[in-house]
Chain A
């Protein structure tokens, strides 16, 4: 039986097999690693989310007829109560939460923190809490500057007596503190 008992050209087959397997695995390896490093595809999915957050904060920070900005009014009027799972919205910021809920689509959830510096430390206070944000959530922020003199200007717009944001500077200057209103957004 020449077909089976022939001793010619046996190594060529095994080499061919090995070479083919090597090539297939090389192509598989390349294709798998290319699929992992998809350039910015995640960014595009989330850019609309970032626009929602950014636009909402900018809109609330626009000047109003009766106050310099809604956002500033909310930050100054914060009563110092932090949000937690059993108390998702600080009572003085119900209006802020209602505005955001109205603006955001139904499938978008958000948390809001107030971040400020005092005595060399950065302090974060959660004020609206709607859950634990997943890994692909987006963060946007808007800076709000508070001044000492607001307490004299109008009763509508003064720093709440229980507000835990401290006067950061020496008594000589008008600056009260700079607060970062930070909003974390994700798709439910």
Chain B
């Protein structure tokens, strides 16, 4: 009598065709399951949309001066100078209006528009975040895009007032676990349009002139404009003293001829070499018979006669 479960029983075994068929099917099914999600990776829509939204926002901010529209029973006016009518903004833009024509200068931004945008954002109105969102075209019929916009120097430090407080950072901070599109635009401002220090020669003041500078600084310029009395020699020398009292000579006594002027000395890179834990140095400028000015700013870097910085736009 053969065992019911014994090895000698040759009936009711799985057919080898079935075995081969089912294993081939399972292997190919697994392969397909693995392949199918990867098939569509190149066609995923989300980053593409975010990129175009980020780029569009950067263009609106950097290449357009914006628009306001004030219409009620008595007046109906509109124009590019929305910074004068912050309650009637229809489109935000930071590009500077040209004074003569109503044409904007791309990438040349206006300081007053920048500070008015910060003003709108920091106002007591609880809806200011979403108002700006709407004026930047970030509210669409199917979703809202969150934003963070800031002005940053080329060394990565936020553009600041002379006391070191950043002056343009609006929007929420993005969470770390979501896709964020970041667009950086290089923008410029007129030299005197952003927070700065400007001191011109004052002959009633003490000579040498002494200036305490916070480091790292992004713009520090000494410009020798002209001689005071022609005929007498015109000299300048610049010394630097650090926190521990060591004095370094930045420029030994140099004579400039009236034909050389204006002489522009950009010292920001030179000064930043002396940055230490105190982040402070003292500059001593000894001069005779010259008219000069000293310009410094923590807002951006001087490129030519313009202050340049990066506008960083993040959307998600």
Contacts and interface: CB of A to CB of B under 8 A. Distances in A.
Nearest to B185: A55
B43 interface: yes
A49 to B, nearest CB: 10
A2 B51 CA distance: 66
A17 B20 contact: yes
Interface of A is mostly: helix
Interface string B182-197: 0111111000000000
Interface residues of A, number: 41
Interface string B295-307: 0000001011110
A107 to B, nearest CB: 13
B83 to A, nearest CB: 21
A118 to B, nearest CB: 29
A47 B24 CA distance: 46
A62 B107 contact: yes
B303 A16 contact: no
B73 interface: no
A132 interface: no
A103 B107 contact: no
Contacts of A103: 154, 186, 301, 303, 308
Interface string A1-38: 11110000100110011001001100110110011011
A39 B108 CA distance: 34
Contacts of B107: 55, 58-59, 62
B153 to A, nearest CB: 10
Contact of B186 (A1, A17, A20, A52): A52
A62 B305 CA distance: 10
14 contacts: A20-B25, A27-B35, A31-B38, A35-B41, A40-B48, A51-B183, A52-B186, A59-B187, A59-B303, A60-B303, A62-B105, A62-B107, A66-B305, A103-B154
Given A59-B108, A59-B303, A99-B304, 10 more contacts: A13-B17, A31-B38, A39-B42, A51-B58, A51-B185, A52-B184, A52-B186, A55-B186, A70-B304, A102-B303
